[in-house]
Amino acid sequence: MKRRGLHPRFTPEQAGAWRADGLWSEHTLAHYVERNAREQPGEIGVADESGELTFAELRDMAWSLAGSLAGAGLDGESVVAVQLPNVVEAVVTYYALCRLGCVIVPRMMIYRRSEVSDAIDRTGAECFITVDEHRGFDHAAMAMELSEACGSLKRVVVLGETPTGATSLTDLISGGDRYDGPLPDPDDDQIIIFTSGTTALPKGALHSFNSHAATARVLNREIELRPGDRCFMPSPVMHNTGLNAGVISPCLGGFGTVLQDAWDAHRALELVSRYGCTHTMGATPFATMMADASESGDYEIGPFRVFGCGGAPIPAAVVHRAEDALGCKMLSIFGQSEFGVETMVKLTDPVERVASSDGCAVSCNDVRILDDDGNEIERGQDGEICSWGPMVMLDYWQDPERTAEVFAPSGHFRSGDLGRMDADGYVRVTGRKKELVNRGGVKIAPREIEDILVEHPQVADAAVIGMPDERLGERVCAFVVAAPGQAPTFESVVEHVRARGVAVQKLPERLELIDELPRTATGKVEKFRLRAVIEGMLGG
């Protein structure tokens, strides 16, 4: 059952303060959709690689779709799963569902039957909106299989060629009457963002519109975004990063967004050039590839000024390269599905800050480094990064036990990430609690060694994991992607790390060269896959 109104996690005084600060609002997305259509009707609201929509067209199509879905029985109690690529219809669909007040369950295009059915079953979604085919996979056929297998699923809507038993999304967009029903409350349950599940079963982080959109408001404030800007978004809009930075942020900020579905660095630069894009958020490798591509083409990207990265460290060399080749400022950002942005560097921070930290708390957040008992740890010492602020989730969907586990006695959200805070309040993520290497009782944070490894002249990328050991429990194993034309040796890697003056126990005890590290769609290394590889090699 959908919960309505202010969640008991927040006091009326806290909510009032966040509203006064402009990070929460009395309005839902519909207010800003209408404002943009009224004040900038002819401006581009969203574009993809096939076409574009003005703010007025975007509003009209979204409200028409909302009318069609309402006519089909959807309302503010409905849970709707959505799996759409980076196309204009994805934005139209999100707007429409926000107008109805449905609870939205986004699923990235890489997910297949297991991940999609799990989300539908666990949330009780009654409608699934997807595409006919994407990169060779028949999503429509999968959807029809799920309509039989998932007991809650009553309706399948397909963009493109629509199979028997499903409804055409295009027809719903073009054939509906404008929806003028009641507006939802911005504090109602609004979206369930499933975690990436790199270490355990994915959890459904439940947000209201206010707690979710606060991330977009923070990005707009910290990056100084306003009408006249234009976002370039290659990250999936059915993931938290792409949705907040590429859909909600532009809508609230009154500027357009340009979507890229299949990543290609040259095509990215063409889109940035054609539409005069001013900023983006994406995985760190995207910045490197765009910088490389910029040298072999003539692109007009003068307005492009900010590249935000999260999910992985940004080496100093990448920061310098992006600033030199693309003329943009790199920003490191730390956040997650449960808490959109916990820390980020400032526009005025020097390259050294960007490369050596994950930023400091944005003005609205209270970020602390806590021990297992919830006590604050002194500056410079490793502990768990814990935060409180307007972007924190309400709960894990229908999972009170796991919800209770991630909130400290002080109310701060336990991120599960380890880090240390310096004297200026800047945080450096050093690893996941569950990824710590336990070498004979000595706890080793992989991030510390990874940061050193990527500075080796023959190393392009690196990940550190604990490999099983009968005597010590675990030893340090380094998976390394060699720089082009290079072949780093175990001895050279160990000496490189040793030269940084780290404890002997932290030195790599095995080196595995790998073509590329397995990553999620948002750039996080899937270390469970690397652990499986080394366990297979060891016969474990």
Contacts of 360 (CB under 8 A, 6+ apart): 343, 344, 345, 346, 367, 424, 425, 426, 427
CB-based contact 437:476 (threshold 8 Å): yes
The pLDDT tens digits for 229-255 are: 999 999 999 999 999 999 999 999 999
CB-based contact 518:525 (threshold 8 Å): yes
The pLDDT assigned to 197 comes to 54
The pLDDT assigned to 129 comes to 98
Q: 12-379+390-421 — its CATH code?
A: 3.40.50.12780
The pLDDT tens digits for 372-402 are: 889 999 999 989 999 999 999 999 999 999 9
| Rounded average pLDDT over 61-86 | 97
Tell which residue, 504, 382, 360, has the closest CA to residue 432.
382
SS3 81: strand
Whole-number Å distance between alpha carbons of 246 and 46? 9
Does residue 466 carry a pLDDT above 60? Answer: yes
DSSP helix, strand, coil percent of the chain (3-state; round to 5): 35, 25, 40
Q: Which CATH superfamily is domain 436-538 in?
A: ANL, C-terminal domain (3.30.300.30)
Tell which residue, 59, 79, 81, has the closest CA to residue 180.
59
Does residue 198 carry a pLDDT above 50? Answer: no
| Rounded average pLDDT over 251-265 | 97
CB-based contact 469:411 (threshold 8 Å): no
Which residues of the chain are in CATH 3.40.50.12780 domains?
Answer: 12-379+390-421
Confidence category of residue 318, pLDDT binned at 50, 70, 90: confident
The pLDDT assigned to 467 comes to 92
The pLDDT assigned to 311 comes to 67
H or E element in which residue 427 lies: strand 427-432
The pLDDT assigned to 188 comes to 97
Q: What is the pTM of this model?
A: 0.85
Lowest mean pLDDT among 34-38, 217-221, 316-320, 366-370: 316-320
- Structure token digits, residue 529: 């896959």
| Rounded average pLDDT over 397-415 | 93
The pLDDT assigned to 199 comes to 46
DSSP conformation class of 369: E
CB-based contact 367:339 (threshold 8 Å): no
Whole-number Å distance between alpha carbons of 487 and 467? 22
Confidence category of residue 165, pLDDT binned at 50, 70, 90: very high
Question: Whole-number mean pLDDT of the chain?
Answer: 93
Whole-number Å distance between alpha carbons of 43 and 230? 11
Tell which residue, 138, 331, 121, 153, has the closest CA to residue 241.
331
Show the beta-strand stretches assigned E in 148-203.
155-159, 167-168, 189-194
| Rounded average pLDDT over 437-444 | 79
Whole-number Å distance between alpha carbons of 511 and 526? 18
DSSP conformation class of 102: P
| Rounded average pLDDT over 405-433 | 91
Question: For a pLDDT cut of 70, what percent of the chain falls above it?
Answer: 98
What residue has token string 């370039």? 232
Quick one: angle between helices 29-39 and 55-71, nearest 10?
Answer: 140
The pLDDT tens digits for 504-525 are: 889 999 999 999 999 876 677 8
Higher-pLDDT residue of 192 and 317 is 192
DSSP conformation class of 239: S
